[in-house]
Chains A and B, each alone.
Chain A
Amino acid sequence: MFSTFYKKRSIGIVRRPSIFVLSMLVPSLFLVLLFNYYPILQSITYSFFKWSGGHKKTFLGLKNYIDLFTSSVFYISLYNQLVILVLRTIFLIVPALLVARLIFGLKTWAKASNFFRLIFVVPVVIPPIVVLLIWQFLLDGEIGLINSFLQAVSLGNLTRAWLGDPKTALGSVIAIGFPWVQGTNMLIFLAGFLAVDESIWDSVTLEGVSSLQRFFYIDIHLILGQLKLNIILTIIQLMQDFVGIMVLTDGGPGTATLVPGLLLYKNAFQYAKMGYANAIGVVLFVVILSLSILNSRIGKESNQ
């Protein structure tokens, strides 16, 4: 009876520590609510106002959204963003996946595996602005290395003002970071491969499946969770990121590289139209959330 009683009490004792855990989380929760959720709610609220950052606000109802959805510049920026999203997602996911699989294949050769892992991860620590400035120099129409190389190999007719020509500016921005082996993505994929049970790899080998079949029909399915995670994170990052474009082209020439994030920034800080900028932010939030949910659903169906 005592032991039963003790167990009951034991169960009671096991429940008690959760109050302590909750109390440890409260300060963090407070800060997250204050610095993350509260600004989001404020942003949604201000999107219905004419506001330039000061104390005066004029309620406009849906006018900011109507102006936004009737603005041709917004649709141009959305189109540019879509192109960047599709192409850069492919560029940032596929090479990382391939490299991770190749490094995984070296798992029996530890030194080589560690060496290649290091080589592909070290660039992650380089500040992004440094990378952008290097690429700005590479792509320069007059003194850029790419044009110099093309001239050196007698392909001078291919030289361009890469960032200054509306025909090539968007493509040049998308190509930044070649060969696009994103270190963090590669590590996540590699972790996925390493987490798979050895017996599965052994049975696959015994089945006599070809490498290509194995990659498409087995490997990808085994790391579907990691793939989903990387895609979601890449989409979120690409939708929010405009700093690169701001540094390289400032959305130009014309509107050739304008994206919604940069449009938001200009409206907020150059045109003093914070309310309108908030409306852009809300629309971006809805788009990113929708893409994330869609990606999650597709991943779930594939799992099933």
Chain B
Amino acid sequence: MQTHGVVAKEAFTMKIIVHKRRNTMVKKCLIVLLIAGLLMSSVFAAGSKESPVGAPQKMRVYAERFTPGIDRAISTLPPLRAFDDIARDYEKLFPNVEIEFYNFMGDHSNTSEYMSWITTQSIAGTLPELVMAQATELEGFKENEWFVDLRPYLEKPNPYVPGNKRWMDLFGEKIISTRLSSTGELWALPISLVATGIYYNKTLFNELGLEAPQEWEEFKHVLKTIRDKTDVIPFLFDMSTTTKASWAYRVFLSFLFEPLLPQIDLDGNEIVSTEEFARAVKFGILGAATPQHREVLRLLDEWKDYFQRGFLTAPATGLFNRGQAAMWWEGIWEYPVLEADPLKTFEVGTFYVPRITSATSKYVDDNAPMRMIGGASGVQLAVSRSAVDKNMVDQAIDFLMYITTPEHNGRIAAESKELAPIVIGAKGDDSLDSFLEQANNGITTFIIERFFSPEQINDWFRTLQDFLSQKISLEEATNRLQRIYVAAADLLIEKNKFVF
């Protein structure tokens, strides 16, 4: 019995010990869970800061190469300030608004990377209220309602331009129409004009007794001479992305289909609309299966023999500046960089893409105007969902109107020297005047980015690459491209309910 009593006492003691230990462990578990809960709630709370009542509303602006304070392409170029000064003046008019310039740290010229950023930031709801975006690339997000259609606002007067009755009149309908989506929306407002030109090594040309060619046959002679007599790459052409491929393609389309323009461009405004494109494809006037288009591919195929090796995947950075290439087709944004490059040892000249004449192809009209590659595809600002969520759409539009007066638009563009102003009457940098003369003839009539969806653009581009690398024949390339043309026309007809 005594033993039983001792055991009972020990068991009772053990129960107390176990009970105490259990309590200690439960306390530890509770502490751990409490800490975890606090941590998680602080993580989730971090994203939901709200501005205190009465504080200025912040409008973030990402304006790509116009962004004040960004690193310039060459460090000797002065930092940009004009846009910032204009923004501060605007803030004086609206003390409840604070404008903050956002700097995108990635490569805005890399479409994949940039669109990934646009997409992810839009999903998160953190995209700047005014953001640079190519208007034609935002169409796929229409049903997401991530961007505001600016077209209706262009009918309103710009209060910052005395006497202006319609904001649209400051740009011109034609130039704006080149940025409309396939269903007529304007997803981003262009605030600059771009032009392109072929930069050439004038020093080398002089040594070889060559002149800047005006016509395509002359151009071929120049290319051949440089290839035969020097080790220099005759023509630097970057086809690792769709941009330059699109330029070349559009120039050739313009020259070769110019005689058929009256049958395609029914309203005669020298810009082929999505409806006109779809109709022309359906009626067999326009498309890859036409003899004119076969000429486009033939010309590209001949020209590629003078490009640098690896032109299909390697960006052509630096080879022209170092004198390793004789010619380089680029945008006007490269002009100040070339001029300021201290390592460049030759004189740079420019000429536009040589005219294709009947000496090159029987389908060309020798009197056709030289169409410009460029237009309103430079800096374009879209009003994002962030502005909608913050009830700042009207403010954002108002700021866009403020920066698109002739004075402000000219100031911003002139300071950067990389792009031209787009507002009628705005004065840009004098050095770009020669590039912009071509604008008098209008821009290329066939802007494929308006007709093809992003996926169709990719298919078109891959087909061109396969053709130029001789992986597929002219026939196969023609068949594939024709399927893309027809699919594009069908999609446009379906979206817009066109009836012919």
Binding site for B on A (CB under 8 A): 1-2, 5-6, 9, 12-13, 16-17, 19-20, 23-24, 26-27, 30, 52-56, 136, 140-143, 147, 159-166, 169, 246, 248-250, 252-256, 265-273
Contacts and interface: CB of A to CB of B under 8 A. Distances in A.
Interface in B1-42: 3, 6-7, 10-11, 14, 18, 21-22, 25, 28-29, 32-33, 36, 39-40
A272 B25 contact: no
Nearest to B456: A271
Contacts of A254: 462-463, 465-466, 469, 471
B319 A246 contact: no
Contacts of A253: 312-313, 465-466, 468-469, 471
18 contacts: A9-B18, A27-B33, A27-B40, A30-B36, A52-B143, A54-B144, A54-B145, A142-B233, A142-B309, A142-B319, A164-B309, A164-B314, A165-B469, A253-B471, A254-B463, A255-B466, A269-B112, A269-B115
B203 interface: no
Given A142-B310, A271-B455, A273-B455, A53 B7 contact: no
B116 interface: yes
Nearest to B29: A23
Contacts of A249: 313
Nearest to B145: A54
A57 to B, nearest CB: 10
Given A16-B21, A250-B240, A269-B116, 20 more contacts: A16-B25, A20-B28, A27-B33, A30-B36, A52-B140, A52-B144, A54-B141, A164-B310, A164-B312, A165-B312, A165-B469, A249-B313, A250-B313, A252-B312, A254-B462, A255-B466, A269-B119, A270-B111, A271-B140, A271-B458
Contacts of A5: 7, 10-11, 14
Q: Main SS of chain B's interface residues?
A: helix
B112, B241, B308, B309: most-surrounded residue (chain A CB, <10 A):
B309
Nearest to A10: B14
Contact of A163 (B40, B313, B458): B313
B314 A140 contact: yes
Contacts of B455: 267, 270-271, 273
Interface in B110-152: 111-112, 115-116, 119-120, 122-123, 140-141, 143-146
A58 to B, nearest CB: 9
Contacts of B140: 52, 271-272
B10 A2 contact: yes
Interface in B223-258: 233, 240-241
A271 B453 contact: yes
Contacts of B309: 140-142, 147, 159-161, 164
A117 B14 CA distance: 55
A204 to B, nearest CB: 50
B357 interface: no
Nearest to B144: A54
Contacts of A55: 144-145
B194 to A, nearest CB: 22
Query: Chain A's interface: helix, strand, loop or mixed, by majority?
Result: loop
Interface residues of B, number: 54
Contacts of A27: 32-33, 36, 39-40
Contacts of A54: 122-123, 141, 143-146
A141 B310 CA distance: 5
Nearest to B111: A270
B263 interface: no
B33 A141 contact: no
A270 B143 contact: no
Contacts of A252: 240, 312-313, 462, 465
Contacts, number: 159
Given A1-B7, A255-B462, A271-B455, A162 B310 contact: yes
A189 B106 CA distance: 39
A52 B453 CA distance: 14
B391 to A, nearest CB: 19
Contacts of A246: 112
B33 A23 contact: yes
Contacts of B363: none
Contacts of B28: 20, 23
B311 interface: yes
B350 interface: no
Contacts of B241: 250
B163 to A, nearest CB: 40
A166 B33 CA distance: 57
A142 B119 CA distance: 36
Contacts of B119: 53, 268-269, 272
Nearest to A57: B143
Interface in B82-126: 111-112, 115-116, 119-120, 122-123
A27 B453 CA distance: 45
Contacts of A56: 143-144
Nearest to A276: B455
Interface centre among A5, A16, A246, A253, by most B CB within 10 Å? A253
A277 to B, nearest CB: 11
B454 interface: yes
A270 B115 CA distance: 6
Nearest to B118: A269
Interface string B443-468: 00000000001110010001101101
A19 B240 CA distance: 58
B243 to A, nearest CB: 13
Contacts of B324: 142-143
A248 B314 CA distance: 8
A2 B233 CA distance: 95
B141 A272 contact: yes
A161 B70 CA distance: 35
A161 B310 contact: yes
B141 A53 contact: yes
A2 B471 CA distance: 87
A136 B240 CA distance: 13
Nearest to B9: A2
Contacts of A266: 112, 458
A13 B15 CA distance: 11
Given A55-B144, A265-B112, A141 B308 contact: yes
B466 A270 contact: no
Contact of A24 (B32, B40, B112, B145): B32
A303 to B, nearest CB: 40
Contacts of B240: 250, 252
Contacts of A141: 308-310, 314
